[in-house]
């Protein structure tokens, strides 16, 4: 898969970001934290730390959800933006924020033991 430039924004549009990469490193995470954060499973793509460009929006906020994980969100509209875990090579950006027609070649489901009882997984 060839790398290309992707752009994304939150619901209100005050937080914008872009990165050059692929959508190959994509995950649906079913852990308890993601369910609380997104109301459903999380859906992310891994983006190399130095490839992610986030605008300096005043509404961009951070929440430390565990000693090693920081989750970023828009403080105005509430959209989750990304999460970042100490020691990980990538930052994980929410797939739903990407603009344009996005196709993800392969998704890996993780932490499926904690998934909500209200949806099915194949």
Report the 10 Å Cβ neighbour count for 65: 15
Residue 76 in contact with Zn ion, rule: CB under 5 A: yes
Contact 52, 19 (CB under 8 A): yes
Residue 14 in contact with Zn ion, rule: CB under 5 A: yes
Four-point Cα dihedral 84, 76, 32, 25, nearest 10: -40
Residue 12 in contact with Zn ion, rule: CB under 5 A: yes
Residue 29 in contact with Zn ion, rule: CB under 5 A: yes
Q: Which of 16, 22, 25, 31 binds Zn ion (CB under 5 A)?
A: 31
Of 4 and 7, CB closest to Zn ion = 7
Residue 74 in contact with Zn ion, rule: CB under 5 A: yes
Residues that bind Zn ion (CB under 5 A): 10, 12, 14, 29, 31, 34, 42, 74, 76-77
């Amino acid at each position: 898969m060839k790398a290309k430039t992707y752009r994304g924004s939150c619901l209100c549009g005050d937080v914008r970001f872009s990165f050059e990469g692929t959508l190959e490193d994509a995950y649906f995470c079913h852990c308890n934290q993601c369910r609380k954060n997104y109301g459903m499973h999380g859906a992310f793509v891994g983006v190399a730390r130095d490839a992610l460009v986030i605008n300096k929006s005043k509404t961009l906020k951070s929440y430390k959800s565990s000693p090693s994980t920081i989750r970023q969100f828009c403080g105005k509209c509430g959209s989750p933006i990304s999460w970042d875990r100490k020691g990980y090579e990538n930052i994980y950006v929410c797939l739903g924020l990407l603009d344009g027609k996005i196709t993800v070649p392969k998704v890996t489901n993780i932490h499926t033991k904690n998934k909500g009882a209200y949806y099915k997984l194949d």
